Structure 1
Amino acid sequence: MSGLWRGYRLAAGGFFAVKAAALLVNALTFPRLRPRPTPAGPRVSLLVPARNEVHNLPHTLPGLLAQGAHEVLVLDDGSSDGTAPVARRLGARVVSGQPLPAGWHGKPWACQQLARAASGDVLIFTDADVFWQPGALGAVLHELARSRADLLSVYPRQLNVTPGERLLTPLVDDVLLTLLPAPLLRFPHPSAAAANGQLMAFRREAYERVGGHALVRAELLEDVAFAGRLKARGGRLALALGQRCVGVRMYRSYPESVAGFGKNAAAVHGRSRTLLLLSAAWHLAAYTLPWLLPARRWRGLTALRAAGLLERALVNRLTGRRTPADLAEGFLGPVTPLLALPVYLRALRRRVSWKGREYPP
């Protein structure tokens, strides 16, 4: 038993040490956006794929329209809730989406149509639930120029409001900042890639050179797939944190978070059921198990417990989420693997549903 415990302690301790090292590197090197005036050039198209987004657009579209871009296009992807008239009334140009062709998933097809309709030299795809603050477009264009990237993807700051949406949604930042040290993006191998479909800014020439979103036409995790495939074709990738410039309210409740993450979890794990099960088991062992064992009997438990509690609080601080409620999310560490179990169960299904459409996982 002592040998088994020693092996577990070394594995869990090593796991947290690697994640802490990645977080420290990212704290020192990960680019953060700062508000800047929108420059006179280049011509920029802000592109919003929208399917039943009438609850989001009145809150997010005015900020997007105020950025000073050459054009703002909203693609109405077969909405049934009045998305198109709301977008028109607010001042955006609305593109009516065409039926989904065979072999395509919904979002890549919507983005492909937006790119065809756009006239800008820079194409910026942004989701309908993303909030653009004053100076955000200038910040994105500055970072795109500074990094000399063909694709700059921004991770907006999470704007969680209700307790339910705080349970799982912030894990997007945790995965990025504790598992992908920013300097790895400089390596040419396509596996050293990440992206966030909530905001992806392309140089048009690079986007068209790889065929646009046709490159990922049948991908549920189309953002990460696009980043890797662009990189494999010689494209340059950059990432940044949205900070005060760009925010997002992804999901409004715990069930919405489960549905959203369950849609992508299989792709994140290489569509391997074995990896999904191993991932669920390991996170239970690393974060939850230390709180189920008596600390007096098992040496090293206090350090494992502390690591699990501190991780999310430190990630939140790095992303600019520094209110007491944001930092208190760290106390969710021990129960997060339990809360994530429905996500894994959903990912194990043969098909997943999203926005009224069904896809293979």
Structure 2
Amino acid sequence: MQGGLRILQILRAPVGGLFRHVSDLTYALAERGHTLGIVADSLTSDDLTESRLEGLRPAATLGIHRIAMPRLAGINDISAALGIRRLADRLGVDVLHGHGAKGGLNARLARLGARRRVALYTPHGGVLNYAPGLMTGRLFRLVERGLTGVTDAIIFESHFAQRAFAEQIGEARCLTPVVHNGLQPSEFNPPPLAADPVDFVFIGEFRPVKGIPYLLEALATIKRPDGRPPRLAMAGGGPDFDAITALIGDLGLSEQVELAGVRPAREMLARGHCVVVPSLAESLPYVVLEAAAAGRQVIATRVGGIDEIFGPTADRLVPPAKAAALARAMQAYLDAPEAAASEIAMRLDHVRAGFSFDRMADSIESLYHDTVLRRRQS
């Protein structure tokens, strides 16, 4: 069976790499003859959210549907799953693909009792990002163990995520392939630098897991060879935006840091020479892939699957939550930027060979067909 499938992509909030992945996958599958719809949280609503979802409408011919999916676990998860189940029944959906902890939860709950429908889950970090001791993390891990029996496949974005899932939750009783995120061929064309480029660029959400305070502390301690303070452009928004803005002022960095707001990654890659990713936890961040493909130097922490992107240059990663280590790497770049050329070239070759958009789409499309066929033959 290799005909067109009817697919719902389910996510909570259209932000970050998760939404980039959903968007890419939706357009790729629509071009291959599948019919897709999007389900997103109705409680996460602002102009940016609406414009991002509207951008998917040409490919999402089953519609863009909003159902309440609160960030915290509760009784509303049951009503959300029932709403998705009714929607899937009405639309004749074959595949429910949940993204992130809440998307995955609701996709799999909605699949209960639907004998000929499959549910797949891509964590995108999700439950794996919760510290082991947190009550919320323990609850989500308990729920995750219970859901593996109604999951047809868990698609891991990195080998790290696959290992972490097995360690924290246990071996899943379903297919568990690793499918790396992929880039379009056009993303390997470096954007020209801006007329007045900054030294460093940060692209990401303003929330604790991104490690932004360590980046700012590092920035406050380094100097350019000519004695001038280095400049940093930051793109993103999120719950910690006000706190980060205050920290910039407290550290005396207001003249050095440009807050650009939420901007496309490629636009920001044109703003500076070196991308810094100070994360405390990740799975397989698109920003590292995009920066490497654009031929920019990348200073990143050794978390998640970032070493899979760095490949032969993984020894250059720095430990997380260590401002001094981050500062040393940033100072070394300022002192001798030309020394990074061979590292940049090796990383570019590695990403070009292993992180293809077509390979990602082919693998997930094949998995959809395989799981649907298994379900119909069972």
Q: Normalization by structure 2: what TM-score? A: 0.32
User: What is the TM-score with the length of structure 1 in the denominator?
Assistant: 0.33
Q: Whose RCO is larger (CA < 8 A, sep 6+)? A: 1
